[in-house]
Amino acid sequence: MKKVVLILLLIPCFSSAQEVQPSHYIPLNKEGNLSIYFGWNRSAYSLSSISFEGEDYNFTLNDIKALDKQTEFSFENYFRLDNITIPQTNMGITYNISNKVLLSLNVDHMKYKVIRGQATTIDGNIDGDYEAWNGIYENEEILMTNDLLKLEHTDGLNYINLGYSRILLEKSIHKTIGISGDAGGSLGFMMPKTNTEILGKDRHDEFHLSGFGLGIHSGLKIHLGKPFFLNFNAKGGFINMPNIRTTADKKDSASQHFFYLQGNFVFGFTINAKGIKKPSK
């Protein structure tokens, strides 16, 4: 999956400007096009050091490994409206401000699950009613058991972002049927719903504003005529979350940052909000 994402991200490097089309050609990406899309993603994450702070502890777990959380495929899990956020999903709206440039509002519903039981190192101090975990640590090796930490951004790692894309490739097969390629960037905020159990405290799971994200993206769109399309898209970027809620007590928090890769398959439909202009006589 990582190789596929990297190939898609490199598409702009090999794409030339839009091809010269016949005068009767109808652009696949036309000014005024308004598109709505929905689909699914797989994601991968870099190592991340996670810092935890509370009234009687302040420590960091170093180089933590995490995976996405792919939902088993079934019609009920992927297509029932009341289960729409169980898988890792992408949805959004795009608008062509010109034949070459589009803006978008996107919700990337990724999932991030810290691998339980992994070996890591710890720095900091724990000084409370935590039995075996109390102590002062300096790069000490430990096994991250469930009584120390369970952490998942699985409801999910929600990246709500504004995007800018430029059309770099457009090839028509027949009128509004063809392919196009785009690349661009995004910037937005993180609104995770984080499942956390730390040092035996009660499980916490609430939506909260935790930080920001940014990224670059590239994709290939298959235009199936009016109005449908399929889109294979890749994103890569950086997420910084300095304010992660970990318990019901606001004094308890966590912070982390990491890089991500995301491979997406989405489908949608397009209408032209400006209408079709008749050619002048």
pLDDT of residue 3: 55
* Lowest pLDDT segment from 22-26, 35-39, 67-71, 105-109: 22-26
pLDDT of residue 77: 85
Give the global pTM: 0.88
> In this structure, are strands 66-67 and 195-198 parallel, antiparallel, or unpaired?
unpaired
Cα distances (angstroms) measured from residue 68 to each of 24, 44, 138, 144, 169:
46, 6, 30, 19, 31
Q: Which of 18, 266, 45 is nearest to 163 (CA)?
A: 266
Percentage of residues in the chain having pLDDT higher than 70: 88
Q: Confidence band (pLDDT; 50, 70, 90) for 275?
A: low
Residue 12 or 67, more confident: 67
Q: What average pLDDT score do residues 102-129 get?
A: 96
- Determine phi and psi for 236, rounding to 5 degrees: -145, 145
pLDDT of residue 17: 42
Q: Residue 20 gets which letter from DSSP?
A: P
Is pLDDT of 26 > 80? Answer: no
Structure-token match 């919700």, residue found:
107
Residue 14 or 80, more confident: 80
Q: Confidence band (pLDDT; 50, 70, 90) for 9?
A: low
* Lowest pLDDT segment from 19-33, 35-49, 88-102, 261-275: 19-33
Q: What average pLDDT score do residues 218-237 get?
A: 94
Q: What is the 3-state secondary structure (H, E, C) of 119-183?
A: EEEEEEEECCCCHHHCEEEEEEEEECCCCCEEEEEEEEEEEEEEEEEEEEEEEEEECCEEEEEEE
Instruction: Write the pLDDT tens digit of every residue in 172-210.
Output: 888 778 999 999 999 999 999 999 999 989 999 999 999
Structural contact between residues 263 and 41, judged by C-beta atoms closer than 8 angstroms: yes
Which residues touch 174 (CB under 8 Å, ≥6 apart)?
none
Instruction: Write the pLDDT tens digit of every residue in 60-90.
Output: 999 999 999 988 888 888 888 888 888 999 9
pLDDT of residue 51: 98
Q: What domains can you pick out in the chain, each with its CATH number?
A: 2-272 (2.40.160.20)
